[in-house]
């Protein structure tokens, strides 16, 4: 049973890394699931406080993932139209134009939202769209870093008890 938990946990780790780039998969939360499964093995002892803290980090990153592109839009001078456009663009890009739409959707949405608000100021609209894109890149990077950290922790716990799994 331990080997099965280890394998499924490792698969969750890999899916967590993919989830850093694919919004449908909550990257760090998926990776955390791998840590949780590893903790259920007889060979590895992971404290409840460690699991609670890592879950808290994963949840925080998951929530921030929805707000960072919006905040990037606002920071670069976008209005509520640009922020709504960012959100709508992300959703449309995700569902209708994957995978490239995941990247271009927030940018295009912010641009369209700002142009709807003030169609004469294309420079401001473009600047807000750039802010949205930077926010998206930052959010993706954050998810990837947390997922990598969780993978390293998973491997460290496994490596410390590898003999218990192998023989």
* Cβ contact 72:138 at 8 Å: yes
- Pick the range with the lowest mean pLDDT from 47-51, 69-73, 135-139: 69-73
Could you give the CA distance from residue 65 to residue 20 in angstroms, rounded to a whole number? 10
Instruction: Return all residues near 30 (Cβ < 8 A) that are at least 6 apart.
Output: 12, 15, 16, 19, 147
Tell me which residue of 65, 53, 33 sits closest to 141, measured CA to CA: 65
Mean pLDDT of the chain: 89
Tally of CB atoms within 10 A around 24:
10
Q: State how far the Cα of 80 lies from the Cα of 148, in Å rounded to an integer.
A: 34
pTM over 0.95: no
Task: Judge whether residue 155 has pLDDT over 90.
Answer: yes
Q: How far apart are CA 160 and CA 106, in angstroms?
A: 43
Q: Which residue has the higher pLDDT, 120 or 27?
A: 27
């Amino acid at each position: 049973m331990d080997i099965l938990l280890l394998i499924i946990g490792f698969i969750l780790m890999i899916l967590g890394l993919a989830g850093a780039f694919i919004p449908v998969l909550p990257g760090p939360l998926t990776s955390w699931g791998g840590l949780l499964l590893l903790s259920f093995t007889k060979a590895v002892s992971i404290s409840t406080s460690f699991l609670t803290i890592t879950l808290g980090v994963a949840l925080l990153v998951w929530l921030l993932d929805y707000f960072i592109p919006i905040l990037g839009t606002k920071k670069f001078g976008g209005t509520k139209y640009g922020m709504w456009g960012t959100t709508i663009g992300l959703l449309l890009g995700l569902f209708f134009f994957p995978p490239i739409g995941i990247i271009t959707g927030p940018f295009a949405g912010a641009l369209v939202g700002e142009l709807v608000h003030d169609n004469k100021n294309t420079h401001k609209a473009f600047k807000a769209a750039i802010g949205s894109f930077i926010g998206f890149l930052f959010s993706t990077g954050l998810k990837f870093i947390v997922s990598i950290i969780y993978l390293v922790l998973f491997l460290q716990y496994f490596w410390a008890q590898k003999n218990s799994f192998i023989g």
